[in-house]
Amino acid sequence: MKNQPTNKKHSPNRLLHETSPYLLQHAYNPVDWYPWGDEALQKAKEENKPILLSIGYAACHWCHVMEHESFENEQVAAYMNEHFVNIKVDREERPDIDQIYMDVVTALTGAGGWPLNCFLTPDALPFYGGTYFPPQPMYNRPSWPQILQWIIKLYQSERTKVEEQAQQLTYHTATHDKNFFASSVIVVDYSEAVEQTSIDELFNKLHPHFDTEDGGFGGAPKFPNTQSIAFLLRYHYLTGNETAAQHAFLSLDKMIDGGIFDHIGGGFARYTVDKKWLVPHFEKMLYDNALLVQLLAEAYQLTGNERYKETIEQTLVFIDRDMSSPEGGFYSSYDADSEGEEGKFYVWDKSEVAQILGEEAALFCQFYDITEQGNWEHKNILQRLEKLDTFAQKNNLSVDELNDFLAKSKQKLFAVREQRIKPGLDDKIILSWNVLMISAYAKAYEALGTEAYKQRAEQALTFLLEKFKTEEGIDVFSLHHTYKADKAKFPAFLDDYAFLIEALLNVYQINFQPNLLDLAESYTEHVLNYFKDPEQPSFYYTAIGQKDVIVRKKEFYDSATPSGNATMGHNLLHLGLILDKETYTKQAVELFKSMEESVKKHPTFFARWANGLLRLAYPPYEIAIIGAEMEKMAQEVNKLFLPHKVLMGSESSTEQYPLLTERFEEGKTLLYVCQNYACQMPVETVAEAKMLLGFETNNEM
């Protein structure tokens, strides 16, 4: 993806003044594109024209294909310009708009995806839509010109039918989320909110979806599904269920071995088109890498498996090298395509590898499945077919010797690959994705103790809190959603605030700066004031008062990123404990209980919710460390796998937080282990604390 348009045969359209790399790609299309806004919407009303809304994102392969086939075609563009008001939206800038019209297309066709093309009345109400349409009829799809002509005929000759369908589809998208959310719940005590047998029921419902051969869930295409794997790790820890652990580790190991992981440059692709994790859709998204680093950090805490540590390190090298802004934030994504060809940057011919590595190529090719015929479209995607120790033994090498050989070989290949034309970078900075990555760095620091990870999390957090402020917001805690070219845009959404609060809590647990807790509480109050449904414990995706969307939606699914509603539930539980705020805890319990039946029916869609129910059934440890050696002891505690733990630290007693009140003793550093505000006698070593936490009996792997 290009940050500036390259096809300049035509005069620019209005997208030339946008900052989104995706919109800039279309700035020289012959289509008279408008950005979403009053100008386009008013034009549709004044001219009584239908709106053609086209939504995509910069790393979207089929978006590029449809642009080249149709939106760069002068004849097609002329028809679009004559009959429609054409609006382009970057779904990453405006996920609120994308959600509304994606619901419509999914309801109409049974599936969604991008590019998303939706046809609207002049009032922006949807009446028809689809995803990719080819230039000629194929794939059992009508052509794009056929669709355009049919829509205009329908709009002009059957306007009443169009208006009726638009009303029905708008009603559907405004109400369908209610199918998942219980209208009323019985409010119970936090400690009795969810029965442990209900969690067993959840696991039993998830189990049939296991791919026990290749890991993950279901067949192709295959996504990382990090929240479901996180549930398995936690469930194993809390219940001792070995099947859960085995599938979690199988899934992680297969991903690390497969083509979804970039063995040369680090980082993960978005998903694979096959069930064996070999052939990725080569785009790399910030959020996937953030969520996978968080998951791998937990897996490393639980197992001490060096492969998980190495994969964290390699992924964060990729993030630091290729996805980090000089100002401190993180870029959004890398395209799947380079030079107009999907995956070209990442794949290899065996002859090329032989030329680079010389006599050492044979061993390297054997390890990474590089052959003359290739394993994908006559090219090779690197994958590992054998365990390191097994392969080393077969080739009369020690594991250290093999590791050293592979590392040096990969460095040589990396140097050559860096000379290739890279996939395009979408360099806008998205608040929600950035704070997910901040949490990833914080979790990596917990697990590995690498000081640079802590510093990177703090640096990025400082940058975001400064650059994403807005003077035009509802209150002083209003934020923007995106930032690029020294300009922040669009009001922040629920996910932005929910993931930010989570990141503030995660960074606090590694640096113990109390101002982070103050900010987490303030942003939580902002969400409660401006996003919460006054009649239910759930939250809207957009803040009160936003006027440029046709409905105010709620989102409960885990999609590419976890549910903002579920994440707010976790945040409220965490802050409820820290601040001793019963209102927060009650709100969270009601929120999770309202979703319990839906989670039981569809655990793979609601895995962040499942982890919340798990948290209610098995209340987490509350750990307080007070004294001069607090930071050193906290580092050791953070290396332990303690799901949902609440960790607080201070060098002296403080009255602001109940867990730290009246617990300081001069000359000592004391560690308190509590659960449900019932604390055991303090100890002075982490070894003693581990005994209180049960590590001497049932939690060693």
Of 130 and 4, the one with more pLDDT: 130
State the pLDDT at residue 3.
44
Distance CA 528, CA 423 (A): 41
Last residue of a domain, one of 569, 585, 617: 617
Distance CA 610, CA 166 (A): 35
Which range among 141-145, 269-273, 300-304, 379-383 shows the weakest confidence by mean pLDDT?
Answer: 141-145
pLDDT confidence band for 335 (50 / 70 / 90): very high
pLDDT of residue 562: 97
Does residue 61 share a domain with residue 123? yes
The pLDDT value recorded for residue 700 is 42
Q: Quick check: is 558 in a domain?
A: yes
Choose the weakest-confidence range: 14-18, 190-194, 570-574, 582-586. 190-194
Q: CB–CB of 57/98 below 8 Å?
A: no
Q: Is 75 in the same domain as 140?
A: yes
Q: What's the mean pLDDT when you consider all of the chain?
A: 93
How many whole angstroms separate alpha carbon 526 and alpha carbon 523?
A: 5
Question: Partners of 430 in the beta sheet?
Answer: 482
**Residues 23 and 149 both lie in one domain:** yes
Please report which confidence band the pLDDT of residue 107 belongs to, taking 50, 70 and 90 as the band edges: confident
Domain assignment present for residue 513? The answer is: yes
Among the candidates 574, 594, 617, a domain finishes at 617
- Residues 653-661 have a mean pLDDT of 86
| Tens-digit pLDDT profile for residues 435-490 | 999 999 999 999 999 999 999 999 999 999 999 999 887 889 999 999 999 999 99
Same domain, yes or no, for 107 and 251?
no
* Confidence (pLDDT) at 192: 56
Side chain identity at 232, as an amino acid letter? L
Do residue 591 and residue 652 come from a single domain? no
DSSP secondary structure letter of residue 310: H
Within a domain: 268: no
If asked whether residues 496 and 594 sit together in one domain, one would say: yes
Give the C-alpha separation, 482 to 489, whole Å.
5
Give yes or no for a contact between 443 and 507, defined as CB atoms under 8 angstroms apart. no
**Structural domain contains residue 283:** no
Least confident of 90-94, 277-281, 474-478, 640-644: 474-478
Please determine, for residue 9, whether its predicted confidence score (pLDDT) is greater than 80: no
Residue 564 lies in a domain: yes
Q: Are 374 and 514 in a shared domain?
A: no
Mean pLDDT of 281-294: 97
Percent of the chain with pLDDT over 70: 95
State the amino acid at position 419 in one-letter form: Q
Q: Is 435 part of any domain?
A: no
Check if the beta carbon of residue 603 is closer than 8 Å to that of residue 264: no
Please indicate, yes or no, whether residues 383 and 464 belong to a single structural domain of this protein.
Answer: no
- Which residue range forms the structural domain that includes residue 547? 190-259+447-617
Whichever domain contains 134, its CATH number is: 3.40.30.10
pLDDT, average across residues 482-501: 96
Domain boundary among the residues 591, 617, 643 is at: 617
- The most confident of the ranges 102-106, 112-116, 168-172, 316-320 is 316-320
Q: Could you read off the pLDDT of 596-634 as tens digits, one per residue? A: 999 999 999 999 999 999 999 999 999 999 999 999 999
Both 556 and 411 in one domain: the answer is no
Q: Is 285 domain-assigned? A: no
Selection from 195, 185, 205 nearest residue 617 by Cα:
195
Count of domains forming the chain: 4
Residue 281 lies in a domain: no
Q: Looking at the structure, do residues 599 and 457 belong to the same domain, yes or no?
A: yes
User: Residue 699: pLDDT band by 50, 70, 90 thresholds?
Assistant: very low
Do 643 and 667 reside in the same domain of the chain? Answer: yes
Residues 635 and 598 in one domain: no
pLDDT tens per residue across span 191-224: 456 889 899 999 999 999 999 999 999 999 999 9
- Cα atoms in the Cβ-side hemisphere of radius 13 Å centred on 494: 30
**Cross-strand pairs, 285:** 333
